[in-house]
Amino acid sequence: MPDDRLIAATGLIGPWPIPPSHAQVAEIFHAFMAARSTRVIPGYSRTLASKRLVPAPLFRFDTNDGKTKRFYCSTCNTPNKFGAGVAVWHEDGWIRLIGCKCGAEFYEHTDFAARIDEMDRLAKRRDRLASFPAILLAAREVRRDINALCASSLLSEMGRFRISLEKKAQALYHELHYSVTNGNGNLVISRKLTQPKNIGGRRVTHEDFPFAAFRGHRILRHDVALRNSLDSALSILLENHILLSGGKAADVDDRRQQKAVGRYREAEITLRQAKDHLENALAFFGSTNRTVIAKWATENPNINGRLRATRAGWVWSGDHDDVTFDVAELMPRPILPSLDALTRALKPQL
C-alpha cells in the first residue's frame, strides 16, 4: 500500500500504480534528456519524498555534465539543487528526481544503494545485448578480411622484397635503414665535414642533413610476430562468435559478456597494430614516395646508383647489373577495411 504521508503530501495518487516498464522508462529518459525539463516526465511530482518507503530507481541522468543546477531535489527539498541525479518511482504513483549524494544520505540505512547498483547492472547488460548484433556483424566481416589477407601473398612478398633489397642493392638498403634509424621520419644524407667538430668531448667527422620526408619505413623492419598476431585475433573473434551468435548472448552471464567485450577489444587493438604496420609498409611503394627516394638516391654521395620505375617493377641500377624488383603486389591499399566498423561497434562498450 502507498504511504499515507506520501499521499497526503501530494493530495492524490499518481498515474503510476506500478513502476514504468523498461520501454516506458527508456521513452521517458530520451524525452527528458532532449527537453532538459521535467515537463516531459508523465507523473512527475515536485514534492518531498518519503524516507520510510524506499523508491525504485528508474534511470540516471546528467543534463549538463553535472554543472548546471536546475532541478528540485525531492529528498532535501531544495530547488535548483543539481543537474545530475536519479529519477525514481514512489509507491504513491509519482516519479521524482533526487540528487545522487542526497539520495545516498537520505536512504543511508536502506537497500537503496543496492537498488541503484542493480539498476546500473541491468542498464549495462541491456546496452551490451543491444550492441552485440552490430559487433558480431562487424567481426564477421573482419574475419573475412583476415582470411583474405592470410591467403594472399602480401606477407611473403614483403619479406621477399626486404631480403632482395638488402642482398642486391646493399648501398640503397643500408642508407635507407640509416635514415629510418636516424632521420626522424626523413631521408637524410650523411656528409663528411670539411672541419671536424667536437661535440660533448666526441670528435664528429660527419653530419646528417635532412633531405625529404618519406613514408613506409616499416617495410625495412621484419615483424616476426605479425602472422601470429593475425591468427591470435582471428581465434578470439571465432571464440566470441561461438559464444554470442545465434541469440545465445542473452543466456551468457555478465562476467562472460564483459570478458567477451574485453577480448574483442584485445583483438581490435592487435589488428589495428597490424593494419598500421602493413599500410605504413605499403606506403613505401607509392609513386610519390618512390620519386622522393629516387631523387634522394641520386643526390646521396654514399649511394652509387639510380632507381626508376618500369612496367616490370622498380629497377635499381647500381655498381653491377640492373636489378628489378617486382612490386605489383605491394602497391598501397587499405588493409583490413572492415576493422573501422568493428571499432565503431565496440566504442559504446569501452
CA distances from 128 to 61, 86, 257 (A): 19, 21, 8
pLDDT at residue 1 tops 70: no
Residues 341 and 253 in one domain: yes
pTM (2 d.p.): 0.84
Residues 164 and 75 in one domain: no
pLDDT at 68: 75
In a domain, 291, yes or no: yes
Residues 73 and 128 in one domain: no
CB atoms within 10 A of CB 282: 23
Residues 106 and 128 in one domain: no
In a domain, 115, yes or no: no
**Residue 54: domain span:** 4-110
pLDDT at 183: 85
For residue 44, the cross-strand partners are 95
CA distances from 109 to 38, 54, 85, 87, 102 (A): 29, 10, 19, 20, 13
Q: How confident is the model at residue 8 (pLDDT cuts 50, 70, 90)?
A: very low
Distance CA 99, CA 125 (A): 24
pLDDT at 11: 57
Average pLDDT value for residue range 232-260: 96
Average pLDDT value for residue range 30-46: 94
Residues 180 and 238 in one domain: yes
Residues 245 and 345 in one domain: yes
Residues 211 and 65 in one domain: no
pLDDT at 318: 83
In a domain, 66, yes or no: yes
CA distances from 29 to 63, 67, 168, 203, 267 (A): 11, 19, 68, 72, 34
In a domain, 118, yes or no: no
In a domain, 117, yes or no: no
Q: How confident is the model at residue 7 (pLDDT cuts 50, 70, 90)?
A: very low
Residue whose C-alpha is closest to residue 25's, from 110, 104, 86: 86
Average pLDDT value for residue range 222-229: 86
For residue 86, the cross-strand partners are 60, 98
CB atoms within 10 A of CB 107: 21
pLDDT at residue 6 tops 70: no
Distance CA 17, CA 94 (A): 8
CB atoms within 10 A of CB 256: 13
pLDDT at 321: 81
In a domain, 145, yes or no: yes
Pairwise pLDDT comparison (282 vs 8), residue with the higher score: 282
In a domain, 116, yes or no: no
Last residue of a domain, one of 110, 135, 169: 110
CA of residue 8 relative to chain centroid, distance = 52
pLDDT at residue 333 tops 50: yes
- Express each pLDDT in 171-216 by its tens digit: 999 999 999 998 888 999 999 888 888 877 788 888 889 999 999 9
pLDDT at 66: 61
Last residue of a domain, one of 50, 83, 110: 110
Grid cell listed for 248: 545465445
In the chain, the number of structural domains is 2
Grid cell listed for 298: 641520386
pLDDT at residue 126 tops 90: yes
Distance CA 165, CA 174 (A): 9
- Express each pLDDT in 66-95 by its tens digit: 667 789 999 988 888 888 899 999 999 999
pLDDT at 64: 78
Q: What is the mean pLDDT of the chain?
A: 91
Residues 151 and 267 in one domain: yes
Last residue of a domain, one of 110, 138, 166: 110
Residues 101 and 140 in one domain: no
Residues 273 and 133 in one domain: yes
Residues 79 and 136 in one domain: no
Pairwise pLDDT comparison (1 vs 309), residue with the higher score: 309
Average pLDDT value for residue range 311-321: 86
pLDDT at 312: 85
Of the listed ranges 22-26, 53-57, 315-319, the least confidently predicted one is 315-319
CB atoms within 10 A of CB 119: 18
Residues 229 and 313 in one domain: yes
